[in-house]
Amino acid sequence: MTLMVFIASLLGSMAIGTPVAFALMFCSLMLMMHMGMFDPQIVAQQMVTGANTFTLLAIPFFLLAGELMNAGGLSKRIIDFALACVGHIRGGLGIVAIMAAVIMASLSGSAAADSAALAAILIPMMRDAGYNVPRSAGLMAAGGVIAPVLPPSLAFIIFGVAANVSISKLFMAGIAPGLMMAFALVLAWMIVSRKMDVEPLPRQDARTRLRATGEAAWALGMPVIILGGIRFGIVTPTEAAVVAAAYALVVGMFVYRELRVRDLYGVLLKSAKTTSVVMFLVAAALVSAWLITAADIPGELGELISPLIERPKLLMFTIMVLVLIVGTALDLAPTILILTPVLMPVVMKAGIDPVYFGVMFVMNTCISLLTPPVGVVLNVVSGVAKVPLGKVIWGVAPFLLVQIAVLFVLVAFPSLVMVPLDWLY
């Protein structure tokens, strides 16, 4: 009965258009009433307590780093570097997009920001070169969702706090799956681009490549500093976020000189607005998480799926299908915050490694950013590229399918995630 109250109050409030954070607060109040412990002060206390976590400081600083990176010219130089390296290959602009997406993912960790930057710079070039624009826009969206899988990832930070799992391990464990997603996109793009009658860009000479590499060196150094610092225990993920923001600020202002003092107010304001939305959602979700535990909803769910507890792979397959379905209606952060406290006790009972589950769960929620009707990244790319949403949905279809295929390959073979983690960590 408690599980039904939770689901009905949450979905009911969202169905009438209530923002997710307020829907979570309403759901918490309904659970308290059902349990006979109604006290609105609990909601306020748990929101403050939940948000008062040192680890969550990484969110505003990584968001600020991403904004500084885009405003300071780091994104543009990464794309120029990729163009110089692989732009001459047939279908090369698509490979440039994927290569740039991987590099930018290791800087910002935001799918929407990376997709917008890629689409803004590369879509006009691909349109002029004769590429299929909806298919190209679909590739930008699919490349952008790699960002929350590769470190530094805001999604891993949110999951790590909600599930009490090592964020450093999640960062390291996400590297191999993220690169697999990128490789799958390259294969898919090479197949679909054969039908496009386009001329590759001229091959750049060694001097041009060297100059592009030199200009991008400062931008390329940022992921080395972040991942190297975390890997060797020099900084925590939260401290790495501060270093990333400071590094992007210095490079943008004093090295590339594209970030001016008068630009800082706009950058800070934009990152502050995004941070406030994310943190309010996290705080509201942590209230629900506390009440979910108090009401023993995971226990009720465990009884419902008890036949699957003894078959971990089948349980993982079922959960992944469930998350894909939920992801069509919810954004990444709400999906993580709502489902993590419900699913984690079941996963632990089944003996599934929490780091492995975290990677698969986050990867699944990232893929859901490409599924309509919500499809946040699809909407971002549609707006930036000025391509109708329906055409972007058609364009992303083959790339969405290969991303889902990678997901279920990793469900079938967990060692593809855990063996690289053991080597990296």
- pLDDT by residue for the chain (425 residues), tens only, comes to 666 777 787 778 777 877 777 887 887 788 788 777 777 777 777 777 767 777 778 888 888 887 888 788 887 888 888 888 877 777 778 888 888 888 887 776 677 777 877 788 788 888 877 888 899 899 988 998 898 898 888 889 889 988 889 998 999 999 999 999 999 999 999 888 877 777 777 777 778 888 888 888 888 888 888 888 887 878 888 888 888 889 989 988 998 888 888 889 998 998 888 888 778 877 887 777 777 777 766 666 667 776 777 888 999 998 999 888 888 767 788 888 888 888 888 888 889 999 999 999 999 999 988 887 667 788 788 887 888 888 888 989 999 999 999 999 999 999 999 998 888 76
Q: Report the domain count for the chain.
A: 1
332-349 vs 297-304: helix axis angle to the nearest 10? Answer: 70
CB-based contacts of 130, cutoff 8 Å, min separation 6: 196, 197, 198, 199
Rounded CA separation 214/227 (Å): 21
What digits encode the pLDDT tens for the residues 297-344?
A: 666 666 777 677 788 899 999 899 988 888 876 778 888 888 888 888
The DSSP annotation for 80-92 comes to: HHHHHHHTTSTTH
Asked whether residue 338 is domain-assigned, the answer is yes
Burial of 269 (0-12, 13-18, 19+ CB in 10 A): exposed
pLDDT tens readout for residues 21-48 = 788 788 778 878 877 777 777 777 777 7
Residue 130 belongs to some domain of the structure = yes
What pLDDT, on a 0 to 100 scale, did the predictor assign at position 425? 67
Residue 181 contacts residue 146 (beta carbons within 8 Å): yes
Any domain includes 29: no
In order of 122, 149, 163, 308, 358, the CA distances from 348 in angstroms are 44, 22, 11, 13, 12
Question: Does a structural domain hold residue 30?
Answer: no
In a domain, 27, yes or no: no
Structure tokens at 108: 């910002």
Is residue 14 in some structural domain? no
Q: What is residue 327's predicted lDDT score, i.e. its pLDDT?
A: 80
Does residue 286 contact residue 24 with C-beta atoms inside 8 Å? Answer: no
Q: In terms of residue numbers, what domain contains 344?
A: 55-424
The CA dihedral of 381, 383, 384, 390, to the nearest 10 degrees, is 50
pLDDT score at 333 = 81
In a domain, 306, yes or no: yes
- Is 28 among the domain residues? no
